[in-house]
Structure 1
């Protein structure tokens, strides 16, 4: 089955950031052609006066917590953590599944085609991924047994999940909750697990000042320094947050080619203090992508919001509107994430997976636009209303003809 998406403006996100006015041929689940020609095909999608972008890739979330939206607001961080832990301990399989469906639908509506998830019960999240058709990189969270609410050994649970058969759009990963609940032994075991099965690792790292300073008191070194010293860091790791890190730690992340997921809105909403040192990360060649975090700490899984706020917050913090430019933010939401995941996504290029979003930019909020400002308008002006169609793995999973009665059903289900 081949589909020609014709006559569109294609934001390729390739190495030279070409913008092409032409066509994309999708064969099966991959992009077979990008250019001016119109190869033979079975079906057509008319993209005239439309913009085609690589689907956004959300590199840090907890989609099973989408039902926590509005339950954790207006409280200090310590109370947030306590309340989250209590809610987590009361979860049901039904609640996790419904929350996952809710969050995935929100992500699709805002142009996200892939996400990285860190949670336990990823087997339940996987069922939702299969139903919705998104691409899910699912990292089973591990931590020391004295802190977990999981049944059994978290690392063995993670291994069992990684070993099982998965749908085509599910990629299993190993996860670590964070240095505040994980001993060196847990890091060693997860590293061994990841190497054994050749999977990526996702973890929280240096999110809060308290987390970092408490660790320094007991270990006389900072978290990134320690993880480098014990041989844990590598290009397999995607570390979420990295707000409270020093220049020395940035150089360590760069040395080991560890990627960072920047979660600007969540960090600001939780008022954990500080802003991730993104300019220094970039200048030291650390690969940076974007994440929303959960609906409990962000209240939204909307990558349009994440892009805009990320750019505005860092530029305001550095007193210069060109500190991090729109194209760099767009890269973080697409190609950088694909690079972090070592996956052929995030770029519209022959041989890459066909995860594409068609935008209608002929809306009040995004006009006028042309090749010179189109990326700026996507980053600063676009919103989910501009999303017309979403393709994952070569299949259209959402279009402008979406049945809104399906959406209303989510008002009546259990999320806990």
Structure 2
């Protein structure tokens, strides 16, 4: 198969120079032209591991993973398996009424683990609400992710303890937070980098466009990591952009690259490259991880209403975990003992998460009315009273029990 690189190389600029004053050189191999007015070139894709588990070479990015050991490869596989197991347990807990909501990452493990393992300890992460794999890489206890979805806290972890910010529910706003933080890093003279995660749907938000503008103009050391999982709830990607998402970076004056989001090695390599650019003072990068959301957008969503089974089946053949397993087995980097031991560890993790959630207190039903306004508000008081009456009605039906 043809492997194409979209790595754009931008000459290094000083922090005070303006974005867009230098040309962007793009190198690709065998770029296919799309026919028809208004259509762009066929998107190129960085891939190092095929769906069949075959290692393929890439002149641009091989150097970022060529030294990877068998132990490190097994570690990536373990990360993905345990993240998927935790995610499945959280989905089941929501179905059982233990969580109010859950946003599954099923199918996106390679994008998150690959990019998460590319980070240094002093880099800072701004996630959305689906980055459970990145949280795992940053050492956040999986059980701490669930308190917010149970309604018992507003996050459950110290962002500064792991350089992993609290989950962001407001779509796209974390890209502005990340840009501001990255601008601060430059002012402080540090050589760390920032990464902001968002989805294809968020790419249509004004906050994201503003973040692109500020990061380019101020040459901020930030990587924008877009997980294009093909569906913004029920809207396909073609409703978000007329061109491939990574190409949007060109208009803001920084490079964009599309990577096979189901290839953990490619995600590791491309993110390392982008982070190194940021640390070297070369400004922002947009990475589009081309992947697929296997499950529902959240547990309140029914994907069967807007997409067919054949689409999911086609993407299941590109499963990121199966892909790496095939490579490990073919290269004799893992034996059946490793996989059996990991299965046991996976079940132990599921049990720990299950017990931890069930041990959490029930959320305070009236907490939603607190801290809305600093000095109180008549409308909030009225709504609180209405809710109290509603709650009391259940006790009346049970004979006061």
Does TM, scored on the shorter chain, surpass 0.5? no
Structure with more strand by fraction? 1
Larger Rg: 2
TM tier, shorter chain? 0.3 to 0.5
TM-score (norm 2): 0.34
